[in-house]
Structure 1
Amino acid sequence: MKKGIVGYGSFLVLIWIYFGVFYDLETYYDSRYAAYRHAYYFTQTTFTWLVLWALIQSSFHHTYTQMLDRKFGKEWARSLVYGASLTLGYQLISLPLDVLGYGMAQWAEVNHQPVVDWIGEWGVQSLFFVLMISGLIMVARICMMKFRRYWWIAIWMIALPISLFILYIQPVWIDPIFENFQPLRNTAIKDEIVDIAGEAGISESNIYEVNMSEKTSTFNAYVTGLGPQKRIVIWDTTLENMQEDEVLFILAHEIAHYVKNHVYWGVLGSLLFSLVLLKGLAIIFPYVFNRFKRQWNLRTITDLKTIPLLLLTTSILLFATEPMYLWVSRQMEITADQYAIEHTDSLDPAIEGYRSLAIESKSDVNPSAFVKWFRYTHPPIQERIDMMKEAQKERQ
C-alpha cells in the first residue's frame, strides 16, 4: 500500500507541475486558474480510485464487513448500512479536496459564496450522495444475487423509472433547495425575451430566472425538466451584466435546446449509455474479480467486501467512456449555436458575449485535445467564436 500511495503522490506532483508550469494555456485572463482546474479535476477523479483501492486492502474493511454480516440478517439492511458508512466516510475523507476546489474559485474571484452557505450546501449535497449511492449498492447487490446472469438488466430496469421521476421533479423540488428561482423580473429586456421565446412557441411561464449573483459572477443559462416542468433558466448575472444583444443570442441558443428537445435526447442517450455501461461492467467485472480475489481475500462477487472493487471498476469504466458522452453533448451545443446564428442578425454581440463569458469564468478557451475530450460538455470558447466569424464571412 505504501508503494501505491507514494506512486499516487508522485503522479499528483507531476500533474500539478505540468498544468501549473508547462501546459499551454490560452485564456483571456491573466491567471493560470483554468490550468489549475484541469489539475484539480484529474486529482479528484483519481483520488476516488485511491480511496477504493486502499479500502479493499485494509484490515479494518475486512473486520467491518464481517461485523455487518454477523449483526444484520437481511442483505438489504447490510447493504444500506455499508453503503451509508462507505459514502459518509468518503465524503469526510474527500472534504479537504472539496475545500481546495472552493478555495481556488474564491482565489480566482469566480466564486464569492460565503463559507457558511457553502458548508450548508456541501452538507445537503453529501446527504443526497449518501442516499443515492447507498440505494444503488442495495439494488445492485440484491439484483446480482437474484439474477446472477442478467443482473445488469435488472438494475437498469429498476433505476429507469426512478431516474425519470427524479428528472421530472428536479426543477420543482430539488434545484430550489440550492438556488432561488423566480419568474422573469420586470427588467428592460424582459419583453424582448418573452417575444422571442413566444415566436418559438415557448410561454413566459416556462422561462425562469435564478439568483446566482450571491455565489458567482460568471454567466450561464440552461434548459431543464421533462414534460410540464420543462423550462429555460437564465442566471441573474447573465441578465444584469451582459449586453442586451448578448443575452438575446444566449436566449436563442437555449431556445434551440428547448425546441429541438435536446433534454429528451440527452436523457434517452444517457439511459442507453447506462445500459451499455452496465453490460460492459457485467462482462469485465468477473475477470477483474478473479484476478484479485486471492490477493485481497475476496469470497464471492456479491460479498460486501467486494463492493469497493465493483465501485472502482465502475468508476474507471465511466472515466474511460466519458469522452463519448461528452462528444455527444458538444454536438448538441454546436447545433444550438448554429440555430442561434441562423436566428440572429448581427453576430458581433455573440462574439463579445462569449469573450465576456470566458473572461468572467477565467476559462481555458482553447484546451488541448485530451482535456477537451475528458472535461468539456461544450465546445471550447475559441471554437465557438471561430464558428461565429466563419458565419460572418459567409454572410458577407
Structure 2
Amino acid sequence: MKKGILGYGIFLAVLWLYFSFLYDLETYSNSKYAAFRHAYYFTQTTFTWVVLWAVLQSAFHHTYTQIIERNFGREWVRSLVYGASLALGFQLISLPLDILGYGMAQWADVNHQPIKDWLGEWGVKSLFFILIISGLVIVARMCMMKFRRYWWLSIWMIALPISLFLLYIQPVWIDPIFENFQPLRETAIKDEIVGMANEAGISESNIYEVNMSEKTSTFNAYVTGLGPQKRIVIWDTTIENMQEDEVLFILAHEIAHYVKNHVYWGVLGSLLFSLILLKGLAIIIPCIFQRFKRRWDLRAVTDLKSIPLLLLITSILLFATEPMYLWVSRQMELSADQYAIEHTDSLEPAIEGYRSLAVESKSDINPSLFVKWFRYTHPPIKKRIEIMKQAQENKE
C-alpha cells in the first residue's frame, strides 16, 4: 500500500505542476483559477479510486465486514450498515479536499459563501450521498443475489421509477433545500423576459429566479424539471449584473432547451446509457473479480468485502465513458445557441454577455482537447463567440 500511496503522491505532484506551469491556459482574467480547477477535478476523480483501492487493501476492512456479518442477520440490514458507514467514512476523508475546492473559489473571488453556510450545505449533501450509496448497495446486492444472470437489468428496472420520481420532485422539494427560489421579481427587464417566453408558449409561472448573489458573482440560467414542474431558472446575478440584451439572449438560449425538450432527451439518453453501462459492468466485473479475488481475499461478488471493488470498477467505467455523455450535452448547447441566434437581431450583446460570463467565472475559454472531453458540458466560450461573430456577419 505504501508504494501505491507514494505513486499517487507523485501523480498529484506532476498533475498540479503541469496545470500550474505548463498548461496552455486561455482566459479573459489574470488568474490561473481555471487551470487549478482542472487539476482539482482530476484530483477528486482519482482520489475516489485511491480511497476504494486502499479500503480493499486494509486489514481493518476485513475485520469490519466480519463484525457486521456477526451482528446483523438480514442481508439488507448488513448492506445498509455497510453502505452508510462506507459513505460516511468517504465523506469525512474527502472533507479536506472539499475544503480545498471551497478555498480555491474564495481565493479567486468566484465564491463568497460564508464558511458556516458552506459547511451546513456540505452536511446536507453528505446526508443525501449516504442515503444514495446505502440504497445503491442494498439494491445491488439483493439483485445480484436473487437474479444472478440478469441482475444488471433488475437494478435498472428498480432504479428507473426512482430516478424519474427524484427528477420530478427535484425543482420543488430538493433544490429549495439549498437555494431560495421565487417567481420573477418586478424589475425593469421582467416584462421583456415574460413577453419573450410567452411568444414561445411558456407561461410566466414556469420562470423562476434563484438567489445566488449570496454565494457567487457568476452568471447562469438553466432548464430543469419534468412535466408540470418543468421550468426556466435564472440566477439573480444574471438579471442584476448583465445588460438587458445580454440577459434576453441567455433567456432565448434557455427557451430553446425548453421548447426542444432537451431535458427529456437528456433523461432518456441517461437512462439508456445507464442500461448499457450496467450491462457492461455485468461483463467486466466477473473477469476482474476472478483476477483479484485471491489478492484481496474475496469470496464472492455479492459479499460485503467486494463492494469497494464493484464501486471502483463502476467509477472508472463512468469516467471512461464520460466523454460520450459530454459530447451529447455540447451538441444540445450548440443547438440552443443556434435557436437563440435565429431569434436575435443583433448578436453583439450576446457576444459581450458570453465574454462577461467568462470573465466573472474566470473560465478556460479554449481548453485542451483532453480537458474538454472530460469536463465541458458546454462548448468552450471561445468557440461559441466565434460562431456568433460569424452569424452576425452573415446577418449583415
Q: Fold match, TM over 0.5?
A: yes
Structure 2 unaligned spans of 5+: none
Q: Secondary structure at the match of 1:94?
A: helix
1:256 counterpart residue number: 256
Aligned AA for 1:215? K
Per-residue deviation, residues 135-160 of structure 1 (Å, max 9, x unmatched): 00100000000000000000000000
Matches within 5 A, 1:1-396: 1-396=1-396
- Structure 2 distance, partners of 1:296, 1:223, is 45
- Structure 1 distance, partners of 2:386, 2:248, is 19
Q: Secondary structure at the match of 2:233?
A: strand
Q: Secondary structure at the match of 2:345?
A: coil
- Structure 2 distance, partners of 1:8, 1:316, is 16
Q: Secondary structure at the match of 2:182?
A: strand
Aligned AA for 2:51? V
- Structure 2 distance, partners of 1:112, 1:203, is 33
Per-residue deviation, residues 286-307 of structure 1 (Å, max 9, x unmatched): 0010000011110001000000
- Structure 1 distance, partners of 2:276, 2:299, is 27
Structure 1 unaligned spans of 5+: none
- Structure 2 distance, partners of 1:284, 1:390, is 47
Give the Å deviation of 1:392.
1.3
Aligned AA for 2:212? M
- Structure 1 distance, partners of 2:186, 2:362, is 30
Aligned AA for 1:257? H
Per-residue deviation, residues 81-113 of structure 1 (Å, max 9, x unmatched): 000000000000000000000000000000000
TM-score where L is the length of structure 2: 1.00
Supply the RMSD in Å over aligned alpha carbons.
0.4
Aligned AA for 1:276? I
- Structure 2 distance, partners of 1:2, 1:349, is 56
Aligned AA for 2:83? G
Per-residue deviation, residues 235-260 of structure 1 (Å, max 9, x unmatched): 00000000000000000000000000
Give the Å deviation of 1:393.
1.8
The 4+ residue runs of structure 1 with deviation greater than 6 A are none
Per-residue deviation, residues 47-101 of structure 1 (Å, max 9, x unmatched): 0000000000100000000111111110000000000000000000000000000
Q: Secondary structure at the match of 1:125?
A: helix
- Structure 2 distance, partners of 1:395, 1:250, is 19
- Structure 2 distance, partners of 1:379, 1:61, is 43
- Structure 2 distance, partners of 1:70, 1:333, is 53
TM-score where L is the length of structure 1: 1.00
Q: Secondary structure at the match of 2:31?
A: coil
Per-residue deviation, residues 10-48 of structure 1 (Å, max 9, x unmatched): 000000000000000000000100000000000000000
Aligned AA for 2:196? I
- Structure 2 distance, partners of 1:392, 1:218, is 26
Give the Å deviation of 1:188.
0.3
- Structure 1 distance, partners of 2:51, 2:167, is 30
Give the Å deviation of 1:395.
1.7
- Structure 2 distance, partners of 1:393, 1:12, is 45
- Structure 2 distance, partners of 1:6, 1:228, is 53
Aligned AA for 2:143? C
Q: Secondary structure at the match of 1:182?
A: strand
Per-residue deviation, residues 356-381 of structure 1 (Å, max 9, x unmatched): 00000000000000000000000000
Give the Å deviation of 1:390.
1.0
Per-residue deviation, residues 144-180 of structure 1 (Å, max 9, x unmatched): 0000000000000000000000000000000000000
Give the Å deviation of 1:394.
1.6
Q: Secondary structure at the match of 1:192?
A: helix
- Structure 2 distance, partners of 1:354, 1:94, is 34
Per-residue deviation, residues 180-225 of structure 1 (Å, max 9, x unmatched): 0000000000000000000000000000000000000000000000
Q: How many positions carry a matched residue from both structures?
A: 396
State the identity %: 82
Q: Secondary structure at the match of 1:233?
A: strand
- Structure 1 distance, partners of 2:274, 2:386, is 34
